[in-house]
Amino acid sequence: MATSNIETEDGPCCPICLEQFNVPRQLPCTHSFCEKCLQSHITAEAVKDTKLNDIKCPVCRSSASPSIKDRPSSEWASLFPVNTVLQSFLPAKTKVNRVCDACKSEDAAVPAEGFCVICKDAMCGDCLKYHRKQKMSKDHTILSVEELECNPENVMKLAEGFACLEHHGEDIKYYCQDHNIPCCATCFFEGHKICAKVIDLKKELPALLRECKPDKIIDDMNKIENHLKKFMETNEAVVNNLEPHVNRMTDQIREVRNKINSLLDKLEKNVKTEGIRIYKETVLKKQEENHHCLSLFHSVRNFHYFLDAIQKYGSNLQRFLMVEKMKLQLNSYCTLVEEKYKKTDTITVEVQFSSAIQSMLSDSLSEFGKVVTTTSSITLPL
């Protein structure tokens, strides 16, 4: 016989808050939720639709309507039945304090003291006394709150026959195989009377039980649970594996920055060294040129003094000979000056970056890089 995984669990949990149930309320689709969680879902739906007539199950999106249509949506969650089967698996401190169903219909919240197995109603002490006095109900089996909470078998007795979640007070009598849903008499006449395969459960139940395979259902549920756990474990592993990649990105930026800084530091050092060398060589060269020019300048100036003295005090022969010598000398001076003018140059220096750096620093560059996400499919074994 197949065994369920629930033996090792702490108890059933709400699919919305993922915590142990607190007042589990059951929708017609059989999914159950904490009353507060369900009411929060209903309130959110009512905000979207001010004329809300029914709600969508948060799990399967099936429609569900409250049993009393004229109640405000803020009370709808409390109108769905408590899932007593799930409640029996909860620790005592989380069990719901049921109120009398008869008194509740008159807007009185009176704590329930017992449950009628036949009527499926919770009753206060006064209603229990009245129930036992009535001829039609005096033989009904009554379970106390303590008997119900302490013995899961009693919970199943209370649930035996399963009340219709659509029509209050009616038990399930049929099963529509066309739609795969259980039906009470009202369900049958209102929506399934023309269906081809509607089974009378009272007549056909023994044969149906022989075909029923609960062990396979349990195996399938265990497989689904194991697959979901494996999927969640895989997701956790993906997150854990992603963290070092995220940290690595900052390390990559740091490495690139350090490399760039190292190259810039090297370039700066070379620029300083080369700039100083060029400056010193230029200063020395220009100083030598200026020294030569200054020497020529004084030589020419000295000719002025010499020629002035000869013109004032020298003979005609001296003036003639000196002028002729000066012509020859001045011709050589003119040649030197012309050569120097032709060879005179100016020097500027600047840093010439590599083409890669120039391209990188162009106006069109808006970023150095970006984060690229690569998603790879993971095939999990089934």
The per-residue pLDDT for 276 is: 92
* Structure token digits, residue 194: 């023309």
**pTM attached to this predicted model:** 0.53
Domains of the chain: 1-96 (3.30.40.10), 232-360 (no CATH)
Name residue 339's amino acid.
E
The per-residue pLDDT for 161 is: 54
The per-residue pLDDT for 93 is: 46
Eight-class DSSP state of 99: B
pLDDT tens, N- to C-terminus, the chain (382 residues): 455 555 445 678 999 999 988 888 889 888 999 999 999 999 998 888 878 888 899 999 888 887 666 788 888 998 888 887 787 777 654 455 678 888 887 888 888 888 887 777 788 999 999 998 888 888 888 888 777 766 666 666 555 556 777 777 788 889 998 988 889 999 999 989 899 999 998 888 888 877 777 788 888 888 888 888 888 898 898 889 888 988 888 898 899 899 989 989 999 999 999 999 999 999 998 898 889 888 888 888 888 888 888 888 888 888 888 888 888 888 888 888 888 777 778 888 888 888 888 777 776 667 777 777 777 777 777 6
The per-residue pLDDT for 127 is: 92
Contacts by 238-245 with C-beta closer than 8 Å and gap 24+?
238/378
Measured distance CA(43)–CA(103) in Å, rounded: 26
The per-residue pLDDT for 39 is: 94
The per-residue pLDDT for 154 is: 63
Report the SS3 class of residue 42.
helix
* Structure token digits, residue 367: 């970023």
Nearest C-alpha neighbor of 96 from the set 33, 170, 27, 8 = 33
